[in-house]
Structure 1
Amino acid sequence: MSTAHSPKLAAGQPFPELSVTTSDGQQVRLGQPRPETGANWQMVLVYRGRHCPLCTKYLNQLEGFREELKEVGVDILAVSADSEAQLREHRSRLNVEFPIAYGLTQAQMDQLGVYVSLPRSEQETDHNFAEPGLFVVNEEGNLHVVDISNNPFVRPELQALVNGLRWIRDPDNHYPIRGTRQGPESELIYR
């Protein structure tokens, strides 16, 4: 059995330049915080789509942390491979004020390195979809925090994530991007 391989984004590397359309029709670039938020980082949350009740629950829970994230300078944008019509229907079950985008393409999912699933039936959805991914992009446009999963049951616990971002954003902590050393040439360096 052959499996497709999509390379995963490396911590510290520039986040890819990908544009999507939000539910209000605006073209936005993933990883660029909205100027009106005053944030200089952006959390990009890739979710499976309207067919996933766990995604709906997670997005609604994330709304409860929107103000805390704003306080530490982190904007939020969620995106899926759903169509505009599917997102419009999904919005009726979402109670969020952060922007949600649609139309993530297969090529964009591959660039993000997220796992991609085929629908189990037409009742589930009518297109390939991304499994959960969370990317926090810093003010330099580099990937600072990344979490990807191959199923909807494994996602960062939101309070722990927000606490961690608060810690990382505190300049007194001098906390670097973690996980930047890869491959056999890596050495143990204690800091």
Structure 2
Amino acid sequence: MSQHLQNGQTFPRLDIPAVGGGVLHLPEDFAGSYAVLLIYRGHWCPFCNEQMAAFVDAFDTLSQQGIKLAAFSVDDEASTQEFIAKHHIRFPMGHSADIDAVVDATGAYVTSFPTRGRFLETTGFVIAPDGSIVNAVYSSRAIGRLVPSDVIRLVAFMRSLAT
């Protein structure tokens, strides 16, 4: 079993196919900024839909605070494109994540349902400008996840420590 990532540890490199082409290079794409990385179960998960809608609603505030954002799942590109359109997502989205590679790198939980196959459970990271982990939230099922207001307050607190 892979180990969960710890606060202060450098976030491991992950390369995830990006919707529309290219690759999300994590954490390099976040370099120099605070960031949120959301791993979600899939477009079919009602809790994931709520979380993404909340981050879409908070996107302008996050951007004004200099907080970058990206998300991915094991969904294929077509399903992810539909998910983006449904929620009007304006931040980078990955698709078709390699479950075993993500688990090896992050320690995320995996579940298998007969109707859904294998998928990653919700996992969220707040990452510092230097690529280190500020906070990690691991869920072993549908509930327990990052919310935008907590991220904004945590980043404000971390910045206050630096002054």
- TM-score above 0.5, yes or no: yes
After TM superposition, the structure 1 stretch with the greater mean CA deviation from structure 2, 158-167 or 72-81, is: 158-167
Are the aligned partners of 2:30 and 2:129 in contact in 1 as well (CA < 8 Å)?
A: no
Q: Aligned match of 2:3 in 1, 7, 17?
A: 7
After TM superposition, the structure 1 stretch with the greater mean CA deviation from structure 2, 70-79 or 159-168, is: 159-168
Are the aligned partners of 1:33 and 1:40 in contact in 2 as well (CA < 8 Å)?
A: no
Structure 2 counterpart of 1:47:
40
Structure 1 counterpart of 2:17:
21
| 1:95 equivalenced with 2:88 (yes/no) | yes
In 1, Cα distance between equivalents of 2:112 and 2:150: 31
- CA gap 1:92/1:160 in 2 versus in 1, 3 angstroms: same
Q: Name the larger-Rg structure.
A: 1
Secondary structure (helix, strand or coil) at the match of 1:136 reads strand
C-alpha deviation, 1:85, in angstroms: 2.2
Structure 1 counterpart of 2:49:
56
C-alpha deviation, 1:151, in angstroms: 1.4
Instruction: Give the share of equivalent positions with the same residue, in percent.
Output: 23
Number of residue pairs matched by the alignment: 162
C-alpha deviation, 1:105, in angstroms: 0.7
TM-score where L is the length of structure 2: 0.88
Secondary structure (helix, strand or coil) at the match of 2:113 reads coil
Opposite residue 24 of structure 1, the aligned amino acid is: G
Residues 60-91 of structure 1: per-residue CA shift (max 9 Å, x gap): 11112222222332100001011112212323
Are the aligned partners of 1:72 and 1:169 in contact in 2 as well (CA < 8 Å)?
A: no
Are the aligned partners of 1:84 and 1:103 in contact in 2 as well (CA < 8 Å)?
A: yes
Q: CA RMSD in A?
A: 2.0
Alignment of 1:131-146 (within 5 A): 131-146=121-136
- CA gap 1:12/1:28 in 2 versus in 1, 3 angstroms: same
| 1:159 equivalenced with 2:153 (yes/no) | no
Instruction: Structure 1: state its 5+ residue gaps.
Output: 176-191
Q: Aligned match of 2:107 in 108, 113, 119?
A: 113
C-alpha deviation, 1:34, in angstroms: 5.6
Opposite residue 134 of structure 1, the aligned amino acid is: G
Secondary structure (helix, strand or coil) at the match of 1:43 reads strand
Structure 1 counterpart of 2:77:
84
Instruction: Structure 2: state its 5+ residue gaps.
Output: none
Structure 2 counterpart of 1:185:
none
Bigger strand fraction: 2
